[in-house]
């Protein structure tokens, strides 16, 4: 049954994520806000904790430390690790040449993967904030990224394109990370 719903954002919701304890849900939006909802004690009239990020958010992901979260925004080509006060703890920068659309976390919690409008996928070392590998091959912007359970493979997709009413083109790539 439905436990909770909200219509607080003023633009499209781009990410929904449980925070580390599982008691709260984070939502992010193109309206430039990030909201935190208490789902352990849900009410449909609750006021969320609000953070005005100031830039449209493309994706949001809880960081392994459980205290910060990664934000991909439409305002620049970086990913920031921030807390709910807005303090930036880490910036993943220098590789993407266009906005980052999507984020993924390795199962060992040591790597962050990003996909962007620049048609690239970048794997980052979370501890150092440095890129480990840049993967190329997409012919359109990357919209989704995910590691396999053993972190040996990475799957990514690009925008689906409808050629006409009967043909839908969907492109994806699978990268082997270990030999």
Instruction: For 92-144, write each residue's pLDDT tens digit.
Output: 998 999 999 999 999 999 999 999 999 999 999 999 999 999 988 777 888 88
Q: What is the pLDDT of residue 160?
A: 43
pLDDT digits (tens, 9 = 90+) for 30-78: 888 888 888 887 665 667 787 888 889 999 999 988 888 999 988 889 9
pLDDT at position 58 is: 92
User: Which pLDDT belongs to residue 169?
Assistant: 41
What pairs with residue 163 in β-bridges?
none
pLDDT interval class at 171 (50, 70, 90): very low
Please give the model's pTM, rounded to 2 decimal places.
Answer: 0.83
């Amino acid at each position: 049954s439905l436990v909770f719903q909200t219509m607080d954002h003023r633009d499209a919701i781009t990410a929904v994520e449980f925070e580390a304890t599982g008691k709260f849900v984070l939502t992010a939006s193109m309206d430039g806000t990030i909201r935190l909802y208490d789902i352990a004690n849900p009410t449909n009239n609750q006021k969320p904790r609000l953070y005005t990020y100031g830039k449209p958010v493309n994706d949001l992901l809880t960081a392994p430390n459980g205290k910060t979260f990664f934000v991909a925004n439409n305002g620049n080509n970086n990913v920031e690790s921030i807390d709910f006060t807005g303090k930036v703890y880490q910036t993943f920068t220098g590789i993407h040449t266009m906005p980052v659309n999507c984020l993924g976390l390795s199962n060992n919690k040591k790597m962050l993967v990003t996909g962007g409008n620049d048609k690239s996928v970048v794997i980052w070392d979370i501890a150092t904030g440095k890129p480990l590998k840049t993967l190329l091959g997409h012919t359109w912007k990357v919209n989704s990224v995910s590691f396999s359970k053993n972190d040996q493979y990475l799957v990514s997709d690009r925008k689906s394109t409808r050629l006409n009413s009967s043909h839908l083109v969907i492109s994806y790539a699978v990268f082997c990370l270990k030999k």
